[in-house]
Structure 1
């Protein structure tokens, strides 16, 4: 290919003599050579940063100076030798200790494909803004439309499945970073070429940048050493009206500065990689000292928010930053800390969470944190948005007497007249009936939401307190609650479509009575949307919870920037409304809980507590007369 392109060049331009070419090169001033070297340095610096983004996407754990230096050397070396996928992978494998051959190949492929994609976007923008020919604008607009569609697809479907191969798209944050570094690289390289133009050539900087970007893309696709032949052919074809001898001299000077000099440095680095020992170890991030990834099974029973138990099902984990622990969920776009910290100080987790998310090219986010912690986030410079209100009752002092519980009393009377009784679920859950009930509920209401809300799954329910509503010998509804030492939180509520009025109310009233008996000071009815668009959403859930006259507590979403907030908002919407398949809760956790060994706490007190809150208890189930709630019990 290189030979054919060179032949095509020779047939369309008149080659200057060696003396004329030498005169043109000799006419370049010292400042031009130095400025071109400076622009080359900026270009390769950006390419090194590009490799860092690739390391974070692949989660190699080797991001640092050695990754950036190896990336710069690999690109310089592959430009000289050609066959970039092979030679670039070899250079990275040789220069980065701990990087496997497969990882080096994956990284090189990722860098190559994403750079071409970013270059296509750059070319599209340049062709629309600075058209050299009339046909540039429609072609540029088409490139931008395809890029926009691909970005949308990567968000909606984060994984691309090709047979048995599953590829994860870079996150939107990674795409933005890759585009920025690619833009800096192309602009710096094109500027180096422009600086080296002889004084006889009058080509504008923008025109040359557009031409160079297009020629660079073709040169990379050719895989020829340095894109030899194809780069020159496209430059001459897109700039036909200019002095060919001057262009040839500028391209030759550019190859000396941008290809030969970096390649020589890269070869020396590759010949003696042991001399780079001082940059081999990744720089330790002091904000992540003591960071530890722990299984959801280690979620402690004495946590502040019982609702964090949802990570047992959604693929989340407990992330420790020193003595502080978060219920953390990693998705393709975000690293979201659910609710308030499991244990520890909110303020001390803000910077570590941000660093942790950036290490995987994700946006950091706190979801449904309390007002006090939202204020702390705002004081730390984060962006805060009110998104929900959580309904909270105090089981110990709860009573359905009074005017604010009038609607609740009416619903409970309806349930009592229908002959509904509520019993705590036995140790062996009636899963077949409960599964049928869950399916009937979904048939009426649509697929169950997930990620931040639980879904029906046997082992998951076995870690919760479950209450069943019976009508004669038939289960017509059930509720499940997350449990912690000082709080219970409503999770699943499933009522069959033809259940009598008040079924959900009597179920939840029974759970409140059981929490009072266990001396639980706080029971959360979970949150409902509370933002400017909440009025357009279904108000049935809010009305149901309002019957218990709860204390409505605001809940907030916090991100470092508004850009992160937008990404996190759309990603959470996708995760909630189109969740991934249910990840079954570990049987190890289930067995530990049933035997009284909950999570990471192994003391005798914890064992006793865990066994106690899994013991079936009798629960109040109906209404007698007036406002007095029945003491009917079931074993």
Structure 2
């Protein structure tokens, strides 16, 4: 870490949890890589007597009628999967037309099946799809949790049923007694039955580890169980119809399939690759030809995993082509939100395909045709370059998910190169068609890739290294399997013949390894970027100039000069932030032009990660959450901001009689209201300072910072100040922040002398609101009501429960109730405000760091 960066405070309470949080994903990745390695080793032993040519023959001998039937069962499985989302939305209290739910479900599972643990990966797809239709993050989190729980519950039921029915047959396959297998199945069914009986007897919610967990009603559970059973049964049927003929019943395949799928999900590997195949081959390989089982598994992966993704991308392309004519803006936004994920996933799949094809030979018939028409140097070059492109395509796929414009250009160039290379190296027409589909998808979604950032600017996360390591491990296993009968010789490296496939694959494997090493060296060895330096006077002037062109009044907090600044590359936007411990805390969204704002979000996250920290975006609005979700952050509600619609605000009628009476009484008492422009503030600074000092002393309080202004002379004099005077002496004031477009104003410091009459602040607020209404402003922000609006439902997330507890019982430290009640007098519109940060312990640690930054340390945090 550079010397310019402050070190971790010694003895901070967040140190140990922070280390555990950093080590957890690394440990998971290491364990997953070990699992992949063991799976490859187990498969290599199981396939020791299988010849690659026999495997190709088994694939070619599979009738097209069976492939068509497998596609029908795939459609049935995905249709049943849509019921998950229907029930999940009902459980979350939301309603959407079935056609939209089915589309979201299909895309979520098309991506989730390939990318890893479907409920979690599919959760990001669901968030991007459902958010434009008004679903809040809490509701979408319930949907994701419901889908995960429903899948696990249903899978246990189907597996138990399969084990019970096929106990004797399965026992013979795995070397256990039939009674033991059937006993395991009955035990699983008994567990499912117990859950059903418990749900029937206990409605509403149940407390688990001190936390209330909502329970669906019995009818929904049974209906979901049926849907899951149909889903798993259809998915198992896809594999069953692709298997060679033999003495294996469908219930046996169903039981083996259920166990293999469950193990694949728990492994957190992309698509459960390796684990799933090992279990299926180990269980069914004793009754069926192993080459037939492997060919069925390969076709199953293509039919059930790749085909739905291709269909989803094609549907996205059609939707993007019809953007201008689509009647629903929400649907347009939903499709655009999930398009980068689908295109990125397809790019990763195609990159893996290039790697795998690089270590396998083309069919003999294609070699003969290539020998007649394509010169050998072109074949050799295309094979090597195409294999290396595979690794860079995977890296580009990650960038596509994150909407990097550099990734878009890289993917477009690589894809355009891959089409002729696929034809030159192996006459691979299927590969060329898939790359053509990706090109069409990239071109149709060009408008989504607006983030100008370096593709190699960030360090890859352990999950991405796990993805690359899994692909390389499988490629190595495939290489040794395909050429196990070819004796190794150093001369192989220098053989260049059309029929010499083994040397060509060896050279491709070395190229793949070197490309991976080059990427790893750059991302792991390069020095971290981003040094924290206090803002200069020129930086502050640039930021103030940007604020003058925006419609966000609170952005004027940059004038305090207590926050660090990060500018976009084009200088049209900036982000203000502070750092404490491992938390890099941005105050709200970036300010300025849209393109620069998106760039800054990603660069800020990358910079924080490069220094081993966590990026925190504090007090961001709900309509910005999709941007942070794209970056892998989660949203945690902080409270609500009170916004007064000035066009609708007045003091007429009985409801506003107290405000009207306060104004009339103040006028009779000789109280004068005035808004002093910035150029007039220096003349009254001494009076304002005296009022501020008496206000702080009376409350035994200290100045705050970061998200609040402090009484700094230069800061106070930079903006208008509203004052109340009596006998030409100021006894109350409020500093005001004005947006650059003259449509929004906000209040900052609010201070009055201890001897001021009751209702002074109420009077000051009313006069300020009327002043800006008369000036033609549209809205006035009264600031945040912390922890307001959090759900008090027994089924609410833990974050909401902690916040509600603080709101109800924390008045000794902060007047939560009084602040919200005071602002409610002016009939504001309450707008939700969130903190965007990674999950786990990060939200609590980040909120603690934010509190310390605002309060100026521990002493300020525990005092008023």
Q: Identify the TM-score tier after normalising by the shorter chain.
A: 0.3 to 0.5
More helix by percentage: 2
Point out which structure has higher relative CO (alpha carbons under 8 A, 6+ apart).
1
Instruction: Compute the TM-score of the two structures, normalised by the length of structure 1.
Output: 0.42
